[in-house]
Structure 1
Amino acid sequence: MKHSSRQVVVDGHEIHVVEQGEGPVVLFCHGFPDTAETWRRQMQAVADAGFRAIALDMRGFGRSHAPRDVSQYTSLMVAGDLVGLLDVVGARTAVLVGHDWGADYVQRTALLRPDRVRAVVSLSIPFAPRGELSLRDDLEARGLGDRYYAHAMARPGGGADFEPASRSVPSVLHWLSASPPPDERWDPVDPRKHLLRESPVAVPPWADADYVAHTIREFERTGFDTGLNYYRAVQASFDLTPALKGAVIRQPSLYIWGKADGLCQFFHPGGASLATLRETQPGLRGQVAVDTAGHWVQHEAAEVVNRELVAFLTALDPIDQEAAA
């Protein structure tokens, strides 16, 4: 089944999308440092199962609108992109699938516009409701403020640390995965195990060489700095959303993560029970913890992710699925 790509205009700004298949819409959102191409294998599986798979280069990445202003990267702005894109493709509702920052923003969009989000699938980032403290304040209270990896990435000009892309992209793919020995893998609060150490391989064995080459080419063209605005906008998103304090995701949802993912281990050390996760996601249908994967679970365990994703999608209420087409 062939895919197509095009530029669309959402609220006056260009967004690059890749599409495949026909049927109810499943919208895929990537994280950092990535593009829509990260979802190729999932899009194929979803399209083969009778859905219309759409992935976008998130604002700040690839061939999409990339404002320099940090205020343009809050959850309100990015949720606006996703809802606006649904309008452009003619979908009343959609299932949103996100990895890394993409997971965080599909979760926020589900809270902000539950009328447009049929269901949510999160990869590598568990849902955390807005609480009393922002992530920044919580980390500082725990003495981790300047040790947490995002502290350095969020500083002005942080994109220069990722140059050249031919070095940093393989590094991020390798060290955040399950490929390195356990004691060498990335640790989000241990600067000695940072994600920009030189990778021993140009292409990890679990990654498609064309995908890696595409990612490098795109960041060679755009640079990394606008993508890092997602990290810089965290506090502003918190400040703008007091109305979401304690709000939970009630839509049907699924959580998939790799047990070797340092970020998941930081957020829920030792794993989280389904009962605990359902306290903030009452509609959670299940969690899938993959023993052999790290942060790049959609690549490292593509067959597992595809199987679980298609099973989740096909089990949704067919009446709502038809309305979402």
Structure 2
Amino acid sequence: MHAFTQSFIETHDVRLSVDSQGTGPLVLFLHGFPETSYAWRHQLAAVSNAGFHAVAPDLRGFGRSDCPAQTERYTTLDIIGDIVGIVDALGEQNAVVVGNDWGATIAWQAALLRPDRFRAVAALGVPMMDRAPITPSRLFPLTDEAWFYTHYFAEPGQAEGELERDIATTLRKIYFWASGDAGPRGEITPNPFGLVARDGGLLDALPEPASLPAWLDACDFDVFVKAFEVSGFRGGLNYYRNLDRNWALQSAFSGLLVQTPALYLAGEYDTGLAIPGMHDIIRAMPKLVPNLRDSQIIARAGHWLQQEAPDRVNAALIAFLRDL
């Protein structure tokens, strides 16, 4: 049993479901795709016990939160507006923001643009990256035989049709393959997790695991399955459908640095670290994040870091929070 409380918060234009636990300085936890606030169940308990108010929303388009119909309402700025609204609704002046996967991208941008509201940032998996010289749609591979998964996700209806056909199978395959249970990954081209055959789907290239990953029991897995049975995948896919729009909007903030205190954690077997050049980006991160307090690679863990290695993540996170 988990002791967090579930409630709803009305932000500027959406109603968001939030899980919360504890009292004290506010810490916001932002999940990734395909996850929900439940991905932070281990952190809500540990961080609240350490003397903080731990809050994890279902981001717009996920779980029990509103899922706007318009694709263009899922830009990074929309999501930052949502979490500013959460801080306001809770009567706080600021918060520490923590994110994994898409949540990490949003957390970095929130700290970059609104350091008055987000006084520190902790990111899992995704490092802070400079704006690319070209749009993501031109940057990622696209051939007659295969396309990068972001191109596949960008086609309205196509990915939804595959991912929603059997939600339990979809989540079981993705959770296993992106986790440390799938084993070591080198810097490999093409990245097998990233490329989708034109005549197939994302799941076709992923193995059918014999069982759930060791870090995810059947009851917790069922929580995720039921959440996506309600929401579907369209809301989460709309984040990817705004990659080029996010890139265009970021031109207004070119040259800004993340000045707040920061923590970066990544799993040794994270699929993202297999992308060529990613380790160089991580090493160069202090140029963009001059107050990066700590950067750790956690052995044998993968992309779902806070679920796979909760004790190690909690220890690093609580030490960072107490040092602020």
TM-score (norm 2): 0.90
Alpha-carbon displacement from aligned partner over 1:57-78 (angstroms, at most 9, x marks no partner): 0000001110121110011111
CA distance in 2, matches of 1:81, 1:267: 33
Matches within 5 A, 1:158-173: 158-163=159-164, 164-173=166-175
Alpha-carbon displacement from aligned partner over 1:66-106 (angstroms, at most 9, x marks no partner): 01211100111111001011000111010000010001011
Report the secondary structure of 1:19's partner residue: strand
Where does the alignment leave 5 or more consecutive residues of structure 2 unmatched? Answer: none
Alpha-carbon displacement from aligned partner over 1:79-137 (angstroms, at most 9, x marks no partner): 10010110001110100000100010111111221110110000111111224323223
- Opposite residue 318 of structure 2, the aligned amino acid is V
CA distance in 2, matches of 1:47, 1:145: 49
CA contact under 8 A between 1:29 and 1:55: conserved in structure 2? yes
- How much does 1:19 deviate? 0.4
CA distance in 1, matches of 2:194, 2:297: 22
- Choose from 285, 301, 309 the match for 1:277: 285
CA distance in 1, matches of 2:264, 2:192: 21
CA distance in 1, matches of 2:236, 2:145: 21
Alpha-carbon displacement from aligned partner over 1:265-314 (angstroms, at most 9, x marks no partner): 3164456665x220111110111101211111111111110100000000
- How much does 1:144 deviate? 11
Alpha-carbon displacement from aligned partner over 1:16-60 (angstroms, at most 9, x marks no partner): 000000100000000111100000001111001000000000000
- Opposite residue 56 of structure 2, the aligned amino acid is A
- Choose from 215, 239, 246 the match for 2:248: 239
Number of equivalent positions:
314
Report the secondary structure of 2:234's partner residue: coil
The 1:292–1:144 alpha-carbon spacing in structure 2 relative to 1, beyond 3 Å, is farther
CA contact under 8 A between 1:16 and 1:63: conserved in structure 2? yes
CA contact under 8 A between 2:183 and 2:269: conserved in structure 1? no
Corresponding residue of 1:57? 58
CA contact under 8 A between 1:171 and 1:198: conserved in structure 2? yes
CA contact under 8 A between 1:259 and 1:265: conserved in structure 2? no
- Choose from 287, 311, 315 the match for 1:307: 315
CA contact under 8 A between 2:105 and 2:128: conserved in structure 1? yes
Does 194-203 or 289-298 show the bigger shift?
Answer: 194-203
Q: Does 1:3 align with 2:10?
A: no
The 1:146–1:96 alpha-carbon spacing in structure 2 relative to 1, beyond 3 Å, is farther
CA distance in 1, matches of 2:22, 2:213: 29
- How much does 1:206 deviate? 1.2
- How much does 1:249 deviate? 0.8
- How much does 1:194 deviate? 5.0
CA contact under 8 A between 2:173 and 2:207: conserved in structure 1? yes
CA distance in 2, matches of 1:45, 1:255: 18
CA distance in 1, matches of 2:15, 2:278: 40
Report the secondary structure of 2:223's partner residue: helix
- Opposite residue 176 of structure 2, the aligned amino acid is H
Report the secondary structure of 1:95's partner residue: strand
Corresponding residue of 1:252? 261
- How much does 1:199 deviate? 2.7
Corresponding residue of 1:31? 32
CA contact under 8 A between 1:257 and 1:289: conserved in structure 2? yes
CA distance in 2, matches of 1:217, 1:223: 10
- Choose from 175, 178, 185 the match for 1:176: 178
Q: Does 1:228 align with 2:237?
A: yes
- How much does 1:241 deviate? 2.6
The 1:145–1:122 alpha-carbon spacing in structure 2 relative to 1, beyond 3 Å, is farther
CA contact under 8 A between 2:129 and 2:285: conserved in structure 1? no
TM-score (norm 1): 0.90
What percentage of aligned pairs have identical amino acids?
Answer: 35
The 1:246–1:139 alpha-carbon spacing in structure 2 relative to 1, beyond 3 Å, is farther
The 1:9–1:206 alpha-carbon spacing in structure 2 relative to 1, beyond 3 Å, is same
The 1:267–1:90 alpha-carbon spacing in structure 2 relative to 1, beyond 3 Å, is farther
- Opposite residue 180 of structure 2, the aligned amino acid is A
Aligned alpha-carbon RMSD (Å):
2.4
